[in-house]
């Protein structure tokens, strides 16, 4: 479509096609975020899938749905959002590359890359907006300006990347790709208990097993490896050593986004779980090292024992984790009970072992 693209912090007054986010702008919304107004016939697990569905419609139907819209916009920067916008702006091209676009979008929003290319594209797109990693001149820009600049550049680069030039920008993805490979090998050495009826996986490393990637001090496989190797929404990772137990409990975006192929699951209460574990550990709110958690209502929160970690969506948490004095079986008991308490068997009886709609 011949429309300009804009990143916005406040919803514009004019009608636009909003992709991925739900910023409240008037017009057409093509998003899988909670509370979206996406037309029912276009719903998909990914915003990129929704946008591809829109571009596949007859011209007259696209014109009807987007009547009066003067731009394509989003209120944040991430891989799925960039690819959704690209799928609207260059619909014919995007439809001929739909598998690659959906694979990278799933790597971004679900941490589920299936191939090296999925991982490379997700990392490259993400790092274009990172002042410390990007080869763009982002100095002096505020966040909105950085996101706008990175989006416009990504729209130009992605078609070339998929034609075979991605390796030329290896600095944007090499560390992430190497860590992903190492993390997957490390998981292959761990014990994996998948409780499909609870949508829950437990990874337990051998005693003294640390992650093999550079600089790792404990067993801490990254999100992209964890959700590449297991379809579970909830993931407990345990590593043991003489110093104690390193533990990390993560919830995926599958229980946050508005998905077509998976029903929304009630999440365990991470605040209550952290409080229970801290009582068992003997830690209080004044302790620098204790059981900590992120907001259960955020897209992909986690719980860990260690020091404060402010950032959401951390690929690895080793810098924040510290050895707990609790036995790994005791930690597993607390977390598993919290998962069971949150689960409604009648509402969530469907099989959760299959692939999502990507």
* Locus of tokens 């007259």: 60
Are 247 and 138 in a shared domain? no
| Same domain membership, residue 261 and residue 196 | yes
Map 224-262 to HEC letters: HHHHHHCCCCEEEEEEEECCEEEEEEEECHHHCCCCCCC
| Spatial contact of 295 and 301, defined as CB atoms under 8 Å apart | yes
93 in Cβ contact with 159 (< 8 Å):
yes
User: Phi first, then psi: what are they for 193, rounded to 5°?
Assistant: -110, 110
Task: Check whether residue 123 and residue 220 sit in a common domain.
Answer: no
Closest by CA position to 225, among listed 195, 256, 196, 201: 201
Per-residue pLDDT of the chain (358 residues; tens, 9 = 90+): 899 999 999 999 999 999 998 888 999 999 999 999 999 999 999 999 999 999 999 999 999 999 999 999 999 999 999 999 999 999 999 999 999 999 999 999 999 999 999 999 999 999 999 999 999 999 999 999 999 999 999 999 999 999 999 999 999 999 999 999 999 999 999 999 999 999 999 999 999 999 999 888 899 999 999 999 999 999 999 999 999 999 999 999 999 999 999 887 899 999 999 999 999 999 999 999 999 999 999 999 999 999 997 689 999 999 999 999 999 999 999 999 999 999 864 444 444 455 555 5
Q: Are the CB atoms for 44 and 53 separated by under 8 Å?
A: yes
- How crowded is residue 133: how many other Cβ atoms within 10 Å of its Cβ? 17
| Residues 106, 36 within the same domain | yes
In a domain, 353, yes or no: no
pLDDT score of 220: 96
Q: Is residue 183 part of a domain?
A: no
Token digits of residue 134: 């990007």
Q: Is the residue at 100 inside a domain?
A: yes
d(CA 200, CA 232): 5
Q: Is residue 349 part of a domain?
A: no
**In total, how many domains does the chain have?**
2
Q: What is the dihedral of CA 300, 310, 137, 86, to 10 degrees?
A: 10
179 domain residue, yes or no: no
What integer pLDDT is reported at residue 310 of this predicted model? 66
Distance, in Å, from the CA atom of 166 to the CA atom of 143, rounded to the nearest integer, reads 25
Look at residue 349 in the predicted model and tell me its pLDDT. Answer: 42
Q: Which residue has the tokens 């005791």?
A: 330
Residues 6+ apart with CB under 8 A from 270: 249, 251, 293, 294, 295, 296, 301, 302, 303
Domain extent, residue 198, equals 190-342
Q: Are residues 71 and 121 in the same domain?
A: yes
H/E stretch holding 184: helix 174-188
Choosing from 114, 142, 172, the residue where a domain stops is 172
Predicted pLDDT at 62: 97
Are 201 and 287 contained in the same domain?
yes
Distance CA 328, CA 332 (A): 6
Query: Phi and psi dihedrals of 61, rounded to 5?
Result: -70, -40
Task: Answer yes or no: do 234 and 318 share one domain.
Answer: yes
**11: phi then psi, degrees, rounded to nearest 5:** -60, 130
Measured between alpha carbons, how far is residue 248 from residues 138, 176, 183, 311 in Å? 34, 20, 15, 15
Q: Are residues 195 and 319 in the same domain?
A: yes
pLDDT at site 346: 42
Q: Is residue 351 part of a domain?
A: no
CB 312 within 8 A of CB 300: yes
In a domain, 249, yes or no: yes
- Based on the domain organization, do 15 and 132 belong to the same domain? yes
CA 182 to CA 247: how far, in whole Å?
A: 19
Shared domain for 148 and 273, answered yes or no, is no
pLDDT at residue 21, as a whole number: 87
Tokens of 99: 């598998």
Q: Do 125 and 270 share a domain, yes or no?
A: no
- The number of helix segments (H) and strand segments (E) in the chain equals 11, 10
Q: Has residue 355 been placed in a domain? A: no
Please tell me what DSSP assigns to residue 315.
Answer: S
Q: In terms of residues, how long is the chain?
A: 358
**Residue 201 and residue 156 share a domain:** no
């Amino acid at each position: 479509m011949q429309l300009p693209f804009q990143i916005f912090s406040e919803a514009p007054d004019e009608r636009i096609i909003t992709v991925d986010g739900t910023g409240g702008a008037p017009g057409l919304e093509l998003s899988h975020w909670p509370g979206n107004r996406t037309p029912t016939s276009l719903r998909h697990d990914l915003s990129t899938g929704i946008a591809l569905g829109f571009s596949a419609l007859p011209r007259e139907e696209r014109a009807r749905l987007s009547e009066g819209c003067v731009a394509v916009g989003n209120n944040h920067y991430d891989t799925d959002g960039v690819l959704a916008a690209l799928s609207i702006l260059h619909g014919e091209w995007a439809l001929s590359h739909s598998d690659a676009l959906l694979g990278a979008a799933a790597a971004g929003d679900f941490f589920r890359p299936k191939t090296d290319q999925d991982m490379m594209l997700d990392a490259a797109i993400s790092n274009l907006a990172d002042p410390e990693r990007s080869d763009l001149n982002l100095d002096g820009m505020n966040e909105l300006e950085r996101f706008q600049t990175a989006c416009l550049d990504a729209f130009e680069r992605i078609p070339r990347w998929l034609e075979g030039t991605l390796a030329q920008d290896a600095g944007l993805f090499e560390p992430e790709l190497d860590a992903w490979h190492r993390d997957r090998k490390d998981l292959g050495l761990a014990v994996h208990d998948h409780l499909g009826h609870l949508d829950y996986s437990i990874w337990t490393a051998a005693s003294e097993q640390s992650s093999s990637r550079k600089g790792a001090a404990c067993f801490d496989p990254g999100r992209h490896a964890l959700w590449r190797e297991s379809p579970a929404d909830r993931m407990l990772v345990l590593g043991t050593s003489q110093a104690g137990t390193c533990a990390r409990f993560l919830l995926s975006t599958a229980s946050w986004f508005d998905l077509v192929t998976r029903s929304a699951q009630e999440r365990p209460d991470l605040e209550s779980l952290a409080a229970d574990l801290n009582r068992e550990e003997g830690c209080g709110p004044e302790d620098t090292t204790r059981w900590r958690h992120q907001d259960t209502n955020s897209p992909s929160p986690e719980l860990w024992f260690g020091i404060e970690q402010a950032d959401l969506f951390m690929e690895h948490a080793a810098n924040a984790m510290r050895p707990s004095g609790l036995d790994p079986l005791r930690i597993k008991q607390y977390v598993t009970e919290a998962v069971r308490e949150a689960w409604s068997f009648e509402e969530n009886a469907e099989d959760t072992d299959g692939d999502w709609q990507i």
